[in-house]
Structure 1
Amino acid sequence: MTASRVRRWRHRLRVLLVAVAGPTLVVGALTASPAHAAAADDIRINEVVTTGSVNDSVELYNKGTATVDISGWILKDDNNSSKYAIASGTALAPGGFVAFDVHNAFGLGSSDEARLYLADGTTLVDSFSWTQHSDPSWSRCPDGTGAFGSAAVTLGAANDCGSGISATAWPGSSSVTTADAKNAFGSDMSGLYQEGSVMWAAQNSGKLWRLVPNGTTAWKADTSNGWTSGKTLRFPSGSGTPDDEGVTLTGAGSAGGVYVSSERNADSSGTSRLSVLKYDVSGTSTTVNASAEWNLTSDLPAVGSNLGLEGITWVPDATLTAAGFKDESTGAAYAPSTYASHTGGVFFVGVEGTGMIYGYVLKGDGTFTRVASISSGMAGVMELQWEPQASRLWVVCDDTCSGQHRTMQINSSGAFATTAIYNRPTGMGNFNNEGFSVSGSDACSSGAKPVYWSDDSNDNGHALRRGTITC
């Protein structure tokens, strides 16, 4: 079983271990009461599941701007003698979701209530009641502030509120072909980034590959400068094995360093380490230590150690300012001059376990500022890819979402919003694709250009596949 398949099972198990609570609104047969406890006013019951594929569960969401420690807080149903105490050490970051399986403490009936109290057990924070079972989930839309309604189960992630956009056919050829020699790379191939005639590929086992063309439609390992079997990556200290999932470059290209997103140190696999690492790839050594690390773990909602940072991509400052991108840290238009000594752009990272996308300015002194928090509307994000030619962000999910892709652009409010939802090409199976790369405009021919996927499971002995999109 590949690391990614293990991840799928862990994710599904996590979804089986959840719980929900909510406020008082009127939505048909649903009611919710206003929250009390002003100090905790940003914590909201966000999703409730009373029947179906998972145990009775309640999800909480932090709609505020500060992390809130919810250790010892109490969840109840409509019976005051029922009680589920939230574990010590549980904190909910801004924009974070956490779900609790409450079925061992109490059952949620067809006509019942979910209530959230402070640790004193008497100060009501939020509540939500209903008169019929969830079908399959009672979800608040938008997250944290909207009314409850029937939706898909998304415990521990953004609610499925719909974008108002229906999925459509793949915007290119339905045909997909393999793009590597059989068993050339094995399993665990993840993020991709194409730099002209070079393809950079991150592999979960702590490897970075430099691929070069193998004919006109495929790729092979570069055999020069120590790249024949990929290069082993290390953390800045020279120790550890980054579980690298995504790879990208800045406007300086690979000469300016290759940036990798990692979700943990594989040598300590039970602990999250949500980091962006920079590597100088100019040498010939087969092992490369990171020249810089931005550890984002403390700034992001807690997720399972194998459900962390997957995709990463970089968007230039000039593109963001021209589109009126809004900086969430200031509430005003993004101003690059505010951030001294950064890379001339913003890095966007995708979190598998929550389906969230976050934008960061990474500064030269190792510090960072979060400038965006974006719900992808998907169960998980496995890859992000900025396409300069179309000024759009590709958001990719794997077989968890049947290979769905979405594109996002900056809207009139300065935020990234979904512009299209695409089903995978009909000629490609529901593979465990964790990487996606879009060729540049110079590759356009007869109105189409190549795109590539990396299959973490190496199905049928192939890690890379090739398709097309319209230019």
Structure 2
Amino acid sequence: MTEPRTRHRRHRLALTLALVAAPALVAGALTAGPAHAAPADDIRINEVVTTGDVNDSIELYNKGAASVDISGWILKDDGNSSKYKIASGTTLAPGAFRAFDVHASFGLGSGDKARLYLPDGSTLADSFTWSEHSAPSWSRCPDGTGAFKAAALTLGAPNSCGTSGGGTTPVAWPGSGSVATADASNVFGEDLSGLYQEGGVMWAAQNSGKLWRLLPNGSGGWTPDTAGGWSSGKTLRFPGGGSGSPDAEGVTVTGTGAAGGVFVASERNSASSGTSRLSVLKYDVSGTGSTLTAAKEWNLTADLPSVGSNLGLEAVTWVPDSYLTGAGFKDASTGALYAPGGYGTHAGGVFFVGVEGTGMLYGYVLQDSGAFTRVAAVSSGMAGVMELQWEPQVSRLWVVCDDTCSGQHRTMQVNASGTLAVTAVFNRPGGMSDYNNEGFSVAGAAECVGGSKPVFWSDDSNDGGHALRRGSLTC
């Protein structure tokens, strides 16, 4: 992200406070409405968000065994004069979640209710009443059937029914606590964000709309490639004539490496900084020109819950189909086991993106045709996500937060239920200050020496004149 460090500090404080579980509530303060005849009985109000960086939202969940067409159903607060009508063609599959941003129709107050009506406007399907703002979410636990409780924000995904922080106790960093600078002084300046190490090359995305190709500097760090037009990084452009400047936040490659394209996550067009444009962009990096125009864009904005324009896609990584199918990954769009053959030509894996403002992860199959399908939505359990990194040697996904979460790192893998779940929570290395780290990369198995291998962080704030730092991780 491009705003100064002070904004991160304020954002961290606000979200940290919001993620603390609410105190015990007075008995009877929260109530859920009675069930009604099918299919209304299968559609439940499942989550309500009344405050924070996400606009007032109500999530619905289908707890039944059949798809339900909810076209024309109506959402209301405690008043009858305002209503939100669900668009025609909206269907909820069994086990599906769908969040609706209702703030343009009505606001959700600190003492209010959410009501769901059938299209006739008079048959109440479900309701939920609360006596104080969400902190950050009122969530049904378990989904669709349980009572509402204070929990982490998980719009569009299963509710986090443990503690609001994910329920996992952090442990010490699994490597040396020592951290050293990994770049020369003031090479990159501020706003260096996502990292991805591909053998002897480090790809780095910068918020100002740049992509860097870095090479080893001979002392364990990295320096810009001076060949092929890379010495000052290359300017990124959106497709369609090379217009606009992507706010580049994350970077990854697929199993074919950079030869198959470098993929960048962007949260907005810097030329229109007040508007979200949550996109994954593909770039051909084989040329020598100083500007790279995207060969393809997958604009995911309409498919994701709305967040502030500077709180959007902060991270992207690619996870191979082979791991997902072998682990029994369940496709959230179908409710069945993930079957990549049903998606036509794509990159041989799922792209997972991380949303800074909500801490949510979403998995997408990005087809070569430009189409896309969301196959996963899961909460990281943290206040924000700034980096995602797939580590193939041990088949785990790293989820990284910056100083918003005191530099916490989490790992995730597909569990027995076929969904991504947190497997460990790590504090930042003891020798590293609470930097505004927005990038993280893990060296490959070939660099494992004496039981450890290098890892690198990029500091968006360029603290002390350095944007890159090096640490280690136990192999």
1:15–1:155 Cα contact (<8 Å) kept: no
Pairing partner for 1:165 from 140, 152, 168: 168
Q: Which amino acid aligns with 2:262?
A: V
2:214: which partner in 1?
211
Match of 2:443 in 1: 439
Q: Compute the displacement of 1:92 (Å).
A: 12
- The correspondence for 1:343, drawn from 339, 347, 360, is 347
> 1:278 Cα shift?
0.9
Cα shift readout 1:324-347 (whole Å, capped 9, x = no counterpart)? 222223332222222222112121
Equivalence for 1:230: 233
Q: SS of the residue aligned with 2:322? A: helix
The residue number in structure 2 matching 1:393 is: 397
1:397/1:29 CA distance change after superposition, 3 Å: same
CA–CA separation in structure 2 for the residues paired with 1:13 and 1:155: 20
The one-letter amino acid of 1:62's match is L
Closer, same or farther: CA 75–386 of 1 in aligned 2, 3 Å:
same
Is 1:3 matched with 2:21? Answer: no
Match of 1:60 among 42, 58, 61: 58
* Match runs of 1:55-454 below 5 Å: 59-64=57-62, 73-76=75-78, 95=97, 97=99, 108=110, 114-118=113-117, 123-129=123-129, 139-142=138-141, 144-145=143-144, 147-148=146-147, 151=150, 154=153, 161-162=161-162, 163-237=166-240, 238-454=242-458
Give 1:240 shift. 0.8
Q: CA deviation at 1:63?
A: 2.7
Deviation at 1:58, TM superposition (A): 6.4
| Distance change >3 Å, CA 432–CA 155, structure 1 → 2 | same
- Quote how far apart the aligned CAs of 1:196 are: 0.9
Please state whether the residue corresponding to 1:63 is helix, strand or coil.
strand
Letter of the aligned partner of 1:31 in structure 2?
T
Q: What is the deviation of 1:32?
A: 1.7
Q: Report how many aligned residue pairs link the two structures.
A: 450
Over 3 Å counting, the alpha-carbon distance change for 1:39 and 1:293 in structure 2 is farther
Maintained 8 Å contact 1:192/1:201: yes
Find the aligned partners of 2:68 and 2:467 in 1 and give their Cα distance.
41
RMSD: 3.9
- In 1, are the aligned partners of 2:229 and 2:288 still within 8 Å (CA)? yes
* Corresponding letter in the other structure for 1:268: S
Could you tell me whether the CA contact under 8 Å between 1:98 and 1:156 is conserved in 2? Answer: no
User: Unpaired runs of 5+ in structure 1?
Assistant: 19-25
C-alpha separation in 2, matches of 1:460 and 1:66: 56
Q: Structure 2 CA distance, aligned partners of 1:274 and 1:398?
A: 20
CA distance in 1, matches of 2:468, 2:474: 20
Residues in 1 aligned to 2:387 and 2:29: alpha-carbon distance in whole angstroms: 39
Between the aligned partners of 1:446 and 1:219, the Cα distance in structure 2 is: 22
Distance 1:7 1:279, change over 3 A: farther
Go from structure 1 to structure 2 and tell me whether the alpha carbon gap of 1:107 and 1:271 turns closer, same or farther (over 3 Å shift): closer
- 1:96–1:301: 8 Å Cα contact kept in structure 2? no
Tell me how far apart the structure 2 counterparts of residues 67 and 144 of structure 1 sit (CA, whole Å).
19
Q: Percent identity?
A: 59
**Cα distance, 1:73 vs. partner?**
3.8
Q: Is the 8 A contact 1:32 1:129 kept in 2?
A: yes
AA aligned opposite 2:336 = A
Q: Which runs of 5+ in 2 are unaligned?
A: 19-25
Contact preservation (8 Å) 1:27, 1:148: no
Which stretch shifts more, 307-316 or 203-212? 307-316
2:385–2:401 Cα contact (<8 Å) kept:
yes
CA gap of 1:59–1:336, structure 2 versus 1, over 3 A, is closer
Amino acid at match of 2:77: L
CA distance in 2, matches of 1:229, 1:84: 54
Q: TM-score, normalised by structure 1?
A: 0.82
CA distances 1:294-340 after superposition (whole Å, capped 9, x unpaired) = 12222222222222211111112222222222222333222222222
In structure 1, the residue corresponding to 2:346 is in which secondary structure?
A: coil
Q: What is the distance in 1 between the residues matched to 2:308 and 2:70?
A: 19
